[in-house]
Chains A and B, each alone.
Chain A
Amino acid sequence: MNLAISALEYISDVKNGNITAEEFIAKTLDQISRHEGKLHAFISINEKALDQAKAVDKKIKSKEKIGAFYGMPISIKDNISIKDGKTTCASKMLSDYVSPYDATVVSKLKSQDAILIGKANLDEFAMGVATEFSAFGPSKNPWNTDYVPGGSSGGSAASVSALECVASLGSDTGGSVRNPASFCSVVGLKPTYGLVSRYGLISYANSIEQIGPIARKVEDVAFLLNHIAGKDPNDSTTIDNHAQDYLAEIDSGIQGKKIGIIKEMSKGAGLDKNVESTFWRAVDSFEKLGAKIEEMSLDMVEYTVATYYVLTTAEAGSNLSRYDNIRYGYPMDLEGYEFKSYISKARRNFGPEVTRRMIIGGFVPSAGFAGKYLLKALKVKSKLKKQVLEAFKKFDFLISPTVPILPFKFGEKIDDPLAMYMADINTVTANLTGIPAISVPFEIHNGLPIGIQIHANSLQEKQLLQAAYALQGTTSLPGVSL
């Protein structure tokens, strides 16, 4: 039996009786046990997965109503709440935290008979681009374990790439789905802000982040989106998408579509030469698909990384302040502490990157500095949004390399936060403006994957997935060999 099948292939194989859910889950668990030692894509594994698969097979056999996923193994980033086990956010702060409720996306997947195979590793509280900041140790890139898998949804992307599941849900605050998707040669979508419920997603920067699907094929991402998108009464920022079918007409092509190349993301000193040449070959592919391509400029992009870090740290400073070890947390002797010294002691269980961002986050909105940092960042954000809206009057899609650099080795950037933050330059625009963006695997350079990023206007996921599907059709990439 082949684990390297798409989600849609899995469904038809189970439907046709070629495989059973139990067989597939058993083989997936075997794959996990054989490779987790070197990959560490997971923080925890669902121990009931096999029983759940048996239950699915029983339903199929007795012709009971069966959900759309037919027992498909999906990994879930460990900042998305599942009540059956721990939700740690890869933090010591929540190392024993068990959520009493399921995230909305989790309930949706469960009700459709997906099997949530395990909780995927991430940078602590989703802050990072390499999973190096997981309190439980980094995930490795399945393409070369000396290299980072990207982040923060590195465990999600690695698990999909290494056939430890069929698909995954990650979260994307500044590129955290697209960056590891690019580094691990899988597809990752950051949906329009509000398209997917965040209820149960542990907030890092709540005004810009979204849960997004990661899979090996564009059509699988569309399938997942069909089942997680839509209005949720528990998340007031969600939008009614009128049950749009993102999978239907996915092969419509992009003949005659107008594509803009974002200059600020596709040129310049920070861009790796190999990534650059790969990108231009992707431009050729788009042209051959019948799209009209033009260079364009979003000059606010220059300020987006600074803006992103001001806004996200301010929100993180607020969102993470609830981790005071009073209502839940870890064992700690309270004796002899006055409240404020207790708080600072309790918060020492945050890792270095979270601590750094919370310190900045306490500063940028503070009296006397808010005008210089937070309010200025909000201004850039609204100017950028205006530029992007203007651009979509002319273009159907805007493209760039997903990440300006190739996957890097462990430890290479961990001591240089500014260099590390610049890896986000191409991905943060989608978050700051709320628009959807997808990373599609395009080439492997010296054994290291390179992805192409496509943006579309808000709620234009259907067209975006059509473009991604068309681009995917021009490639023929190898699977990873473990």
Chain B
Amino acid sequence: MIGLEIHCQLTNLQSKLFCSCKANYREFEPNTNLCPVCIGLPGSLPRLNQKAVEKASMIAMALNCKTPQRLGFFRKNYFYPDLPKNFQITQLNMYGPTSIGEQGKVSIEGKEIRIRRIQLEEDPGRLIYEGASERTQITLVDYNRAGTPLVEIVTEPDFDNPRQVRIFLNILSDLLENLGVSDPSLEGAMRADANVSIEGGLRVEVKNIGSFHDLEKSIHFELTRQQSLAERGIAIAQETRHWDDKRKITISSRSKEEDEDYRYILEGDIPWVILDSESIEKWKKNMPESISSKKERYITKYDIPVQVADVLSSDKYYSDLFEQAHTESNAKEIANMITTDLMGLVDTREKREQSKLTPKHLADLIEITNTGKITRSSAKNALQEIVKTGKSVSEIISQTGLAKISDEGELAKIILDVMTQEPTAVQQAKENPQTINYLVGKVMQKTKGTADPTLTLKILKEKIST
């Protein structure tokens, strides 16, 4: 059995959870994104970021959680150098349900994964270890991250295997992105710990997992380790183990973290937040359309194939492009262009950031292809140019000679050239008309895709049969 504790930063918020420092701490020099509140100076008090409550509540609702009538915040007391107040302001259900969500569920491949609890809390600062960079001759603390809004999602131990974990995390990551609350591709924006146990054994918590890829590996390792212990009749102790990134194994933590007593007390500086049905309804209304509803709409309304709709709906970047570029009539073609031609050009965060493509480019490109001014394969070439330069479609066509060659005389000359260069292929085509496509391809190659394919085939057939 596998359960997860996932931490997601609300990276799209303007400010930290309890002060107005920037939530996007990544672009700052160490210890420059700070104020008395987020470094817990004496006398400072937290001011709850209402936007964070709204966004976290949206996550809870998207994961089908129950929303409490009031939110409470608690102090989790422990000492660590990256924790400015030596307590973390977080949530739990000490006096009834007061955390942002509980008892949710997500379906993966027909299996239901139950969500135990979702809580809104502050991220600590970061230790930059000795030797991690030229500037860290000794271990140093950077508090820029301290106080950034974090949502912790705790699942029940409902996963059977690492594969389900991976599917779940992909779904969750798409969901967060679709809600517009977080960019999971940012380093450290989504982190997970796993609780792993086998039948008859106690729960082992695996921490310090750097990536989802390693999470899958660490669960694999832990399951195997536990099974081999069980086979030898050795009892599995309840403990916390750390993932060793280099050796790809889990190691027992010498510090008994499971014994740590956090001495939770109510955070009196943040009054109870009453969640009236009015705000809940308002937030619900403001929630973007869910991935599954988008997919459904793409299939039924536009007759987009299931696989295409799947790719399109689960990636917010693609679906946003689609939503803005498509009309009733061109939807299917836009969808195809995104999922076949565009995908390879913008498949990473960096490429997306650098891309100059706008939804209008896509719409124009489809329109101009449909009017017959350029070929489908020219459109693909144009797309490359657009992503790189952002030039308008008409500009690209006039500048790069992508306009379709539909002049019969001009095309016939090119075809004759190709036939002279490819006598064997011509001979073959005469014997077996189906191989004529090879020659069509050669013509396309020579014209860099600008030849009108229908016209090319017609002329070729005429020339070969004579």
- Chain A residues with CB under 8 Å of chain B are 80-81, 87, 89, 94, 97, 99-101, 103, 198-203, 206-207, 233-237, 314-315, 317-318, 321-322, 324, 326-328, 339-340, 343, 362, 365-367, 370, 374
Contacts and interface: CB of A to CB of B under 8 A. Distances in A.
Contacts of A198: 43, 45
26 contacts: A81-B43, A87-B42, A89-B42, A99-B41, A99-B42, A99-B43, A103-B43, A199-B45, A200-B44, A203-B42, A207-B266, A233-B47, A234-B45, A235-B269, A236-B46, A236-B47, A315-B268, A317-B263, A318-B87, A318-B263, A321-B87, A322-B42, A339-B79, A343-B79, A365-B263, A367-B263
A374 B261 CA distance: 15
B41, B47, B81 — most chain A CB neighbours (10 Å)? B41
Given A236-B46, A327-B84, 19 more contacts: A94-B42, A99-B41, A100-B36, A100-B41, A101-B36, A101-B41, A199-B43, A199-B44, A199-B45, A202-B43, A207-B266, A235-B269, A236-B270, A314-B265, A318-B265, A321-B86, A322-B42, A326-B81, A339-B79
B261 A367 contact: yes
B79 A207 contact: no
B207 to A, nearest CB: 17
A314 B263 CA distance: 9
Given A99-B42, A202-B42, A362-B263, A321 B141 contact: no
B76 to A, nearest CB: 10
Nearest to B138: A334
B43 A365 contact: no
Contacts of B361: none
Contact of A236 (B48, B80, B87, B263): B48
B263 A366 contact: yes
Contacts of A206: 268-269
A235 B42 contact: no
A199 B36 CA distance: 11
A202 B269 CA distance: 13
B216 to A, nearest CB: 32
B68 interface: no
Given A81-B42, A339-B79, A326 B141 contact: yes
Given A103-B43, A321-B77, A237 B84 contact: no
B312 to A, nearest CB: 43
B412 to A, nearest CB: 79
A154 to B, nearest CB: 20
B456 to A, nearest CB: 72
A203 B40 CA distance: 11
B81 A339 contact: yes
Interface in B223-244: none
Contacts of A321: 77, 79, 85-87
Contacts of A324: 79, 81, 86
Interface string B269-308: 1110000000000000000000000000000000000000
Contacts of B268: 206-207, 237, 315
Interface in B73-111: 75, 77, 79-81, 84-87
Contacts of B85: 321-322
B43, B80, B261, B271 — most chain A CB neighbours (10 Å)? B43
Given A101-B36, A321-B85, A326-B141, A235 B45 contact: yes
Contacts of B81: 324, 326, 339
Contacts of A94: 42
B39 interface: yes
B265 A374 contact: yes
A200 B47 CA distance: 14
A315 B263 CA distance: 10
Nearest to A327: B39
Contacts of B212: none
Interface in B378-416: none
B318 interface: no
A201 B47 contact: no
Interface residues of B, number: 30
Nearest to B47: A236
Q: Which 8 A-B pairs have the closest CB atoms?
A: A207-B268, A321-B86, A200-B43, A202-B42, A365-B263, A81-B43, A367-B261, A322-B85
Contacts of A343: 79
Contacts of B75: 318
Contacts of A99: 36, 41-43
Contacts of B41: 99-101, 328
A236 B269 contact: yes
Contacts of A236: 45-48, 269-271
B455 to A, nearest CB: 72
B168 interface: no
B221 interface: no
Contacts, number: 94
Contacts of A367: 261, 263
Nearest to A97: B42
Interface string B246-260: 000000000000000
A317 to B, nearest CB: 7
A322 B43 contact: no
A425 B269 CA distance: 25
Interface string B18-58: 00000000000000000010011111111110000000000
B43 A201 contact: yes
A334 to B, nearest CB: 10
A322 B263 contact: no
Contacts of A89: 42
A207 B267 CA distance: 8
A78 to B, nearest CB: 11
Contacts of B77: 317-318, 321
A322 B271 contact: no
Contacts of A203: 42-43, 269
Contacts of A328: 41
A289 B137 CA distance: 75
A233 B81 CA distance: 29
A340 B263 CA distance: 17
A368 B48 CA distance: 31
A178 B268 CA distance: 23
B173 to A, nearest CB: 33
B95 to A, nearest CB: 9
Interface string B129-160: 00000000000010000000000000000000
Nearest to A205: B268
A322 B143 CA distance: 14
Interface in B331-354: none
Contacts of B141: 326
Nearest to B80: A339
B271 A365 contact: no
Nearest to A364: B263
A103 B41 CA distance: 12
A109 B212 CA distance: 54
Contacts of B270: 236
A368 to B, nearest CB: 8
Contacts of A366: 261, 263
B42 A315 contact: no
A347 B305 CA distance: 66
Contacts of B80: 339
Nearest to A321: B86
B86 A322 contact: yes
Contacts of B36: 99-101
Contacts of A80: 43
Nearest to B262: A367
A83 to B, nearest CB: 10
A216 B29 CA distance: 51
A412 to B, nearest CB: 31
A26 to B, nearest CB: 31
B47, B48, B84, B265 — most chain A CB neighbours (10 Å)? B265
Contacts of A365: 263-265
A367 B43 CA distance: 28
A228 to B, nearest CB: 15
Nearest to A208: B268
B172 to A, nearest CB: 31
